[in-house]
Chain A
Amino acid sequence: MSRGFSPETRERLERDAKEIIGRYPKPRSALLPLLHLVQAEEGYVSDRGEEFCAEMLGLTKAEVVGVSTFYTMYKRKPVGEYHVGVCINTLCAVMGGDQIWDELSEHAGVGHDESTPDGKVSLERIECNAACDFAPVMMVNWEFFDNQNPASAKQLVDDLRAGKQVTPTRGPKRLCTFKEASRVLAGFPDDLAGDGPAAGAPSLEGLRIAKENGWTAPAKEDSE
C-alpha cells in the first residue's frame, strides 16, 4: 500500500466523503464527486486518493482506477495551479482557436497536458465547452474566458504566472485555484455564485432584438 494521508487530513476527507455519500440512494453514485474531492486535496488523482475512494465505498482499487481513467477531468499527474484549456473543437478552431493554441503553447513552452516548470500553469486542448457563441473560447480552472485571441491568451498566461489577479468573463471576480475549483465540483460550494453577470452579451442577443421590435411570446390562453 502506498503512503496514505496524514491522520488529520484523512479525518477531514472522511467527514467530507460521508457527506457526499449521504446525498445518494446508493453509495457508489458518490464515486465521481469523491474523485473530485481527492483531486481537490492533491491537484490530481493520486494512488492514495484512489485507495481512499475505494475504502470509503467498499470497492477494489482496480474498480476505482477503471472509472477514474475513463474521465478526462481526472488528472493522472499534478496540473498547474491554473489549468488553462483552449477549445480546439471545429468551430473555435476555425475562428482562431488553432492559432491561439499554437502561439500559446510556444509562448509558454509547454504542450498538451504539460505544466510550466514553476507549476503555475498547465495547458490542455479541450473539446467544445458549450460556449461556441463566444468563440474562440478558453477556460481556466473551468471558468469561462470568452472571445480570446493570441495576444489576450498570452497575456492571460503571463498574468497567471506573475500572480496577478485575472477575472473570468462569466464567473467570479477572483479566479479560484485548480484545487479550490475541484472542491466546488465535489459539491462543497464557495460563496461566489452571485458574482459575475447573469449572462454574456451573445446570450442576450435574441432577447435584445425581441425587445427592440416589441416581439413577445403570445399571451396566455384565455381559459387558463
Chain B
Amino acid sequence: MTTLTPVLTRNWDQPDSFTLRGYGDYAAARKALGMDPDAVIQAVKDSGLRGRGGAGFPTGLKWGFIPQNDGKPHYLVVNADESEPGTCKDIPLMMANPHALVEGIVITSYAIRAAHAFIYVRGEVLHVVRRLRAAVREAYDAGLLGTDVLGSGFDLELTVHTGAGAYICGEETALLDSLEGYRGQPRLKPPFPAVAGLYACPTVINNVESVASVPSIVANGPSWFSSMGTEKSKGFGIFSLSGHVTRPGQFEAPLGITLRELLDMAGGVRAGHRLKFWTPGGSSTPIFTEEHLDVPLDFESVGAKGSLLGTRALQIFDETTCVVRSVLRWTEFYAHESCGKCTPCREGTYWLKHVLKRLEKGEGTEEDLTTITDIADNIVGRAFCALGDGAAAPIHSSIKHFRDEYLKHFEVGGCPFDRAASTVWENA
C-alpha cells in the first residue's frame, strides 16, 4: 500500500505556516548558495524531478538549457496561473506555504544565474496575492532577497505580477507575452524560452509546485527525492480530489499511487453512489472510468492507458452525472478561452460547442457524433498550442467510453439525467 508523504503540505495545519517564523530559516537556500550553481542544477537533474505544471518535462534538464556566460540577463518566471479546470493545488500551496515557493525561487535563480524572478499569479485569488506579497516582503526584510542575499554576493529581485483572467496565459509563451504587457497569445517555438524568453532573454518557466519542491531536494538530497515515486516518475506530488468524494481535498503522495488508494483515504465515492468517470489531471486529460482505478498515477502508466497525468487534478463524478452535460461545459470553457490565434482551435471549439449543445438537448443525430469526432481530429496536431489538444480530449474520450449515453439523449429527446441528484445537497 502506498502511504502519504507530506513535504510541501507538512506545515499547512500550523496557524502561522505562511509566515517566515512558521516556515523556517531557509536552510536549503543557505546550503545552495554555498554550492556551485552547476552542482545545484546537477542535484535537481539527479533527483529526477519533472515539471508539476502538466507536461512533466525534467526540471534540471530545462535549467541546463540556459546558456551560460552569454552576457544577457536571465529570468525565472514562476507559472502561478493555475486555471486548468479541476486543478487546485498551487493556490492552497501559495496560501498556506508561500515561503516554500520563495525559497525555491532563490535556489532556482541562483542555479540558472538569474537576477530577477517573477511570480505570474492569476488575478482571481486576492488572498493568495496578499500572502505572496507578504512573504516576499518578509524575505526582503530578512535579507533572503535583494542585494547580496545572505551575504553570498548573489543579487535577486522578485516581482509578484497578477494576471487578469485568461486561461491561455498559463501556456508558457502566452504567459511571457502577457508579462511583457501584451495580449496573452502563444509564441512560435523555436526559439524556446531557454534561449529567447522574457524580453528575448534566456528564461526558465516553471510551475509553482516544481519550484517549491526544490528546497526539499537540496536539503535532503537527490536520492531522498528519487527514493519516492516510480522508475521514471520520481518524487512526491500533490493529488487533488474533488467532486463526488466523501472527503475531497489535497493528498501529497509519491507518484504512482492509484485512485483506488486515494479514494480509500478520502472515504470513497460519496455514500450510496459509485464511480462513473474521472479526470487524472484536469479537463484537458482524457477521462478515465472505473476500469482505471488501479492505474498507477505516474506519467508513463497514465500515458500507456491513453490519458495524461497532467496536474493530478482528480475530478470524480458518480453515476448521477451526465457525461454529455459535463463535456459540453468543458467545451464551452475551451471555446471561451481559445485565444483565436489559429483557425483549427478558434473555429473548432466554436463548432464543437454548438453541435454539443444540440446533442445535449436531445436534438442531435448519430451523424453529429461523427461530426464532433472529425472536428476534434482536425484540432489535434494542427493547433498552434496545447489548448487545442486539451479541448479535443474530453470529446474523444467521452465518445469512446460513453457513446451510448450520447445516443440515449436523442432517443429520449433530452437529457435522461436528473441534475438535482448530482448536487451536494441531494445527499445532505
Contact = CB atoms under 8 A, between A and B. Distances in A.
Contacts of B95: 170, 198-199, 203
B57 interface: no
A82 interface: no
A43 interface: no
Contact of B221 (A28, A70, A220): A220
B402 interface: no
A208 B247 CA distance: 12
A6 interface: no
B96 A96 contact: no
A126 B243 CA distance: 18
B262 to A, nearest CB: 9
A130 B183 contact: no
Nearest to A137: B88
Contacts of A133: 88, 240-242, 248-250
A67 B162 CA distance: 14
Q: Find the residue from A30, A35, A126, A130 having the highest chain B CB count within 10 A.
A: A130
Contact of B16 (A186, A198, A216): A198
B381 to A, nearest CB: 25
B181 interface: yes
Contacts of A196: 127
B227 interface: yes
B123 A185 contact: yes
A147 B424 CA distance: 9
Nearest to A142: B126
Contact of B247 (A176, A200, A202): A202
B10 interface: yes
Interface residues of A, number: 88
A149 B424 contact: yes
A131 B93 CA distance: 12
B73 interface: yes
A116 B17 CA distance: 39
A95 B159 CA distance: 37
A73 B10 CA distance: 34
Q: Find the residue from A90, A181, A200 having the highest chain B CB count within 10 A.
A: A90
A135 B243 contact: yes
Contacts, number: 287
Nearest to A188: B133
Nearest to A208: B13
Contacts of A74: 164-165
A176 to B, nearest CB: 8
A123 to B, nearest CB: 15
Q: Find the residue from A172, A181, A189 having the highest chain B CB count within 10 A.
A: A189
Interface in A36-93: 36, 57, 66-67, 70-74, 85, 88-91, 93
A196 to B, nearest CB: 6
Interface in B217-265: 219-221, 223-224, 227-228, 236, 239-244, 247-253, 265
B424 A136 contact: yes
Contacts of B126: 141-143, 171, 176, 181, 184-185
B162 A185 contact: yes
A217 B82 contact: no
A217 B7 contact: yes
A63 B179 CA distance: 15
B271 interface: no
A204 B12 contact: yes
A130 B13 contact: no
A72 B137 CA distance: 29
Given A203-B249, A206-B249, A90 B123 contact: no
B314 to A, nearest CB: 10
Contacts of A215: 3-6
A24 B4 contact: no
Interface of B: 3-7, 9-10, 12-19, 22, 73, 82-88, 90-92, 95-96, 116, 122-127, 129-131, 133-134, 137, 159-167, 178-184, 199, 219-221, 223-224, 227-228, 236, 239-244, 247-253, 265-266, 283, 313, 315, 317, 321, 325-326, 329-330, 333, 336-337, 419-420, 422-425
The 3 A-B pairs with the shortest beta carbon distances in the complex, nearest first, are A205-B249, A206-B251, A71-B164
28 contacts: A32-B163, A72-B164, A85-B124, A127-B167, A128-B86, A130-B83, A131-B91, A132-B85, A143-B126, A144-B125, A181-B126, A184-B130, A194-B19, A196-B127, A198-B96, A205-B247, A205-B249, A205-B266, A206-B4, A206-B252, A207-B6, A207-B13, A210-B5, A210-B252, A217-B6, A220-B219, A220-B220, A221-B220
